A and B are shown apart, each in its own frame.
Chain A
Amino acid sequence: MAGAAPYNDERAREIIKAHMSLEGPALPILHALMEEFGHVPESAVKDMAEALNISRAEMHGVVSFYHDFHREPHGRHTLKICRAESCQSMGAEKQANEFLAKLKLSWGETTPDGALTVEPVYCLGLCAHSPSALIDGEPVGCVDMETLDEIVAEARR
């Protein structure tokens, strides 16, 4: 799956180089790095700053602005559970807390076997199917504990 490759400086530099002809290449490079490695570590921030001829502070400012550019490798799968108003009104918060307690995780953490990372998200625009979630980019509606358990089981396979 996407983002599974272990981080490799040389490959990262290749990816950076491949995007340098674009106008405003920073975000496309970050997406490509995420696609390849699943995260953007410090050394990639430095290499990007060097390639784009900006300071590493500036590059850090960009990367840290977006929650979806991770600094550390995530689990093999990412589950984002909506915590916005509509889902909250359908009991999402309580359900999420129980789910996290069951997995012994906090928001943003990964299961010890590296299978799943659970993150919050604030509205997926799926309010009609609250509570909603996103598993590896695929939306899921009307999420109950059973669905969540299935997602964990699937992730661990």
Chain B
Amino acid sequence: MTLIKETDFGTPESKSEKMVTLTIDGKSVTVPEGTSIMRAAMEAGTEIPKLCATDSIKAFGSCRLCVIEVEGRYGTPASCTTPVAPGIAVKTQTPRLAAIRRGVMELYISDHPLDCLTCAANGDCELQDMAGAVGLRDVRYGYDGANHVFARNNGEANFDWKPKDESNPYFTYDPAKCIVCNRCVRACEEVQGTFALTISGRGFDSRVSPGMDEAFFESECVSCGACVQACPTATLTEKSVIEIGQPEHSEVTTCAYCGVGCTFKAEMRGEEVVRMVPWKDGKANHGHSCIKGRFAYGYAHHGDRILKPMVRETIDQPWREVSWDEALTFAADRMKAIQTKYGKNSVGAITSSRCSNEETYLVQKLVRAGFGNNNVDTCARVCHSPTGYGLNQAFGTSAGTQDFDSVDDADVILVIGANPTDAHPVFGSRMKKRLREGAKLIVVDPRRIDLVRSPHIEADYHLPLKPGTNVAMVTALAHVIVKEGLVNEAFVRERCDQDEFRDWAEFVSQDRNSPEALESVLGVPAADIRAAARLYATGGNAAIYYGLGVTEHAQGSTAVMGIANLAMATGNLGRRGVGVNPLRGQNNVQGSCDMGSFPHELPGYQHISGAKAREVFEKDWGVKLDSEPGLRIPNMFDTALEGQFKGLYVQGEDILQSDPDTRHVSAALANMELVIVQDLFLVETAHYAHVFLPGCSFLEKDGTFTNAERRIQRIRKVMSPKNGYGDWEITQMLANRLGMNWSYSNPSEIMDEIARLTPSFAGVSYEKLDQDGSVQWPCNDASPDGMPIMHINGFARGKGKFVITEYVATDEKVGPRFPLLLTTGRILSQYNVGAQTRRTDNSRWHEEDVLEIHPHDAEERGVRDGDWVKVQSRAGETTLRALVTERVAPGVVYTTFHHPSTQANVVTTDNSDWATNCPEYKVTAVQISVSNGPTEWQEKYRELSVSARRIATAIDAAE
């Protein structure tokens, strides 16, 4: 594979359907109306010289290099800002144009260093390319005058010169090389939507300025890298490029962080990643990325990575490095022994939303066909299992209804319990772009997230409800819609079950469900709720985006169904710009659910009790399958504490840190006789493991991920696995030692098996993915190219189902002992339990978890900004630093769970969703008090972390 060079058309695509024909350099070209002459020329294969134009941002017309002549028109207009017109004849190369371009270029170069040979952008510099293109041979102005290039001029300090800004750990800003083309400023505004950059001063003093002439790291910059990508020179350059040099080949692959599923070109030198550049053809990200995807891949070669398999008899012993054979045999023997002693059902496995579809599929296959039970579950249990359940009830499919592009057509966006600018940043930028175009916004969230108000974005309504009252809120919104006659009768009549609708309408119409009656429960003014409901129902295309703030509750599934009710009642389904959109947390959480990771479902959400589906798998796998659903994760822990669940295979999930009520989880793990952890690092769960199988990163294997919009995309191996094997190979080796007879030689064969057995994946193959780039399931005979928007002419289940959503307050109530409500979430720079991001420079942005507390609550407790505080719930206690802020409402405190030293989940309880056992992370009654330092639990845990990670050295082994 050579280095992929994407064509830069200079200006964005026109969406017009009207076509215009013109002539460029004698060639006839037909393009959509509104296309720039520059783009039209490029589409015809003619590149007009340019510097300030690139197709990710709007035309600007400042560099004056792209001038052209139009027959019969006066002057030399810029081709980037001049739209095509029917019948015009354009000339892109004439002696006059050549002279202008050379003159312009000469001026640029007169204030630019001539250190090309030692410059990091050598070979990838548009300024260099353009100097070549216009035939620059001489710079007559010399370098003696005023300039930004040299630190000293004629022996005197040059105050126009500024040193390099190296404050950002991932890229540098060298003002001496800047040509002030504005591309970085515009990328920050138009693509990312942060507006962290500007041009300060004017004329010769013009400079790119982060914030108010601040260092990048201190400024409003979120380090997405869009500016670096847009820069045509070496002014903004990845430090990795400065260090390594230019890449020589690249592969397209998919990011392994969040559920947006951005595709990247991994630009390589040999087996070393030089940089990750978001791929323009990526249908989820369209050439944009966030700080994590673009920059935080360094964990793959972090020193903490474990590369050799390890075992130990008991968890108080140090680890012993062994061969793959010994580790796998040890694991398999013990697994078999446990099943012999405690019965078939005493073992199970947990699949990972971080691993590929193929790997997840193999783990569940190992459990069902190898262990002979259905004790397989996945981390989706603790995040979006209510989405799977709720949307399946309402529509008949366990997935979001839209693609991300759909947001471009939304007129009203309702965000409930999601924080896209932090947790799904690339989609957050898309959403903000649409909001800047004028879409209305309603935010339902206890916190003032960035979407509530940040530069150029302001929610029309922010409904800061009390944590745990989502169902009451959704019902109150429905009350207004039904009582005020805003229901889309035609849609409901045609598409939904009438009896169920009537029962539901009768239920929500009751006075006790009115915004006024629920005002005290919700803590939100009834008038705001009414206004928001009217906006949602009548504002045009209305789309709901929701996240873990909806699902991770005792009534998570109820809230999801309530959201589906709202969309059906207002007819906001089955076309672009509308829909119900769960923002999936992890890169492959959709895929891991699709692949049959749940104890009651085979791949493709086929219930295990269904004889027909089971038969298909039994025939293909050649075994008899258990028809009884197996244990869910919380059940595994409970059963372990009772002494009947003894063996667990955990692939790529850190359950100890991510699951609620840490002490309960650790006690359960300690009670097992075999815990196999397959991961990159000795994660927290590994403290309780007997076998450690080193896993590999997404850069080291082939496979597929499925993102939040059901889009299946390839990950491609760009370097050899440092640990020796892809994760799918490790599962296969383990399975074969347990008597399976698997012989997959490539993940594509696993995908072929998935396609063979799963109706919604029937048309998926690596060949198709390589050809189309990606496909959104269902992909089968009915929709051979996948389905971007679902339920267009009817719901998958037939008639849409309205479910009555009675609000039941959670058991987790505030009282005198625990008067505050703790809710948890994420931050932009860190990812989930932080196993990866904490091992990159991303930690510079977020070094520790902090507790956000309202000034009123802080003052009552004598807490000042930066104080150590103790957070205590009925489950446990931990300490962390306080951040006094009005982002949280009085009575609510908030923290993240990225750092094991804090262990926010020591505090969260074992309450969970009634339907799916998804834990109630978002509501814990707590008390806050000033503290001197770590709690006893944190001290003990720190000691355990040290002792449990011991690896025996040669001398230890000899003893």
Residues of A within 8 A of B (CB): 42, 45-46, 49, 53-61, 64-65
Q: How far is the CB of A139 from chain B (nearest CB, A)?
A: 24
Chain B interface helix/strand/loop/mixed: loop
Contact of B211 with A56 in the complex, beta carbons under 8 Å: yes
Bound together, the chains give a CA A53 to CA B200 distance in angstroms of 19
Known contacts A45-B212, A61-B209; A55/B194 CB under 8 A: yes
A-B pair count, CB < 8 Å, reads 55
Residues of A with C-beta under 8 A to B455 = 49, 53-55, 58
Chain B residues 215-245 with CB under 8 Å of chain A are 219-220
Q: Is the CB of A53 within 8 A of B456?
A: yes
> In the complex, which of the residues A45, A55, A57, A65 contacts B202, with contact meaning CB atoms closer than 8 Å?
A65
Known: A42-B212, A45-B212, A60-B209. A55 touches B201 (CB 8 A): no
Selected A-B contacts with CB under 8 Å, 28 pairs = A46-B212, A49-B455, A53-B453, A54-B195, A55-B194, A55-B195, A55-B196, A55-B198, A55-B211, A55-B220, A55-B455, A57-B195, A57-B196, A57-B197, A57-B209, A57-B210, A57-B211, A57-B212, A57-B219, A57-B220, A60-B198, A60-B209, A60-B212, A61-B199, A61-B200, A64-B202, A64-B209, A65-B200
Contact of B458 with A by CB under 8 A: yes
Is B200 touching A64 in the complex (CB atoms < 8 A)?
A: yes
Q: Which 6 A-B pairs have the closest CB atoms?
A: A61-B198, A55-B195, A60-B212, A57-B198, A64-B200, A55-B455
Given contacts A55-B196, A57-B198, 17 further A-B contacts (CB under 8 A): A45-B212, A46-B212, A53-B457, A54-B455, A55-B194, A55-B195, A55-B211, A56-B212, A57-B197, A57-B210, A57-B219, A58-B198, A59-B212, A60-B209, A61-B198, A61-B209, A65-B201
Bound together, the chains give a CA A65 to CA B209 distance in angstroms of 12
- The CA-CA distance from A49 to B202 in the complex, in Å, is 20
- Chain A facing B: main interface SS: helix
Q: How far is the CB of B184 from chain A (nearest CB, A)?
A: 11
Task: Give the Cβ gap from B190 to chain A, nearest Cβ, in Å.
Answer: 13
Task: Confirm or deny: B213 has a beta carbon within 8 angstroms of a beta carbon on chain A.
Answer: yes
Contact (Cβ within 8 A) A58 B201: no
Docked pose: A147 CA to B294 CA in angstroms: 63
Task: Report if A58-B195 is in contact (Cβ < 8 Å); known contacts: A53-B456, A65-B201, A65-B202.
Answer: yes
Contacts of B201 in A (CB 8 A): 64-65
In the complex, how many angstroms separate the beta carbon of B226 from the nearest chain A beta carbon?
14
In the bound complex, what is the Cα–Cα distance between A55 and B189 (angstroms)? 10
Contact of A56 among B220, B453, B458 (CB under 8 A): B220
CA distance A147 to B526 in the complex (A): 70
B200 near A60 with CB under 8 A, answer yes
Residue of A nearest to B199 (CB): A61
Query: Most chain-B CB neighbours within 10 Å: which of A55, A59, A61?
Result: A55
Tell me the bound Cα distance from A45 to B199 in angstroms.
Answer: 15
CB-defined contacts of B202 to chain A, threshold 8 Å: 64-65
Closest to B197 in A: A57
Min CB gap B180→A, angstroms = 12
Best-buried of B194, B201, B453 by chain A (most CB within 10 Å):
B201
**A60 CA to B197 CA in the complex, in Å?**
10
Per-position contact with A for B438-455: 1 when CB-CB < 8 Å, else 0? Answer: 000000000000000111
**How many Å lie between the Cα of A19 and that of B773 in the bound state?**
52
Q: In the complex, A58→B185 CA distance in Å?
A: 10
Cβ of A55: which chain B residues have Cβ within 8 Å of it? 194-196, 198, 211, 220, 455
Interfacial chain A residues near B197, Cβ < 8 Å: 57
**Cα of A65 to Cα of B455 in the assembled complex, Å:** 20
- Separation in Å of the A144 CB from the closest CB of chain B? 31
CB proximity of B623 to chain A, nearest CB, Å = 60
Give Cα distance in the complex from A39 to B455, angstroms: 24
Whose C-beta in chain A lies nearest to the C-beta of B455? A55
The digit string for B453-476, where 1 denotes a CB below 8 A from any CB of A, is 111111000000000000000000
User: What residue of chain A has the Cβ atom nearest to residue B202's Cβ?
Assistant: A65
Do B213 and A60 touch (CB < 8 A)?
A: yes
Bound: A46/B455 CA distance, A: 12
- How near does chain B come to A66, taking the closest CB pair, in angstroms? 8
How far, in Å, is A126 (CB) from chain B's closest CB?
23
Q: Nearest A residue to B219 by beta-carbon distance? A: A57
Q: Given the known inter-chain contacts A61-B198, A61-B200, please indicate yes or no for A54 contacting B456, CB distance below 8 A.
A: yes
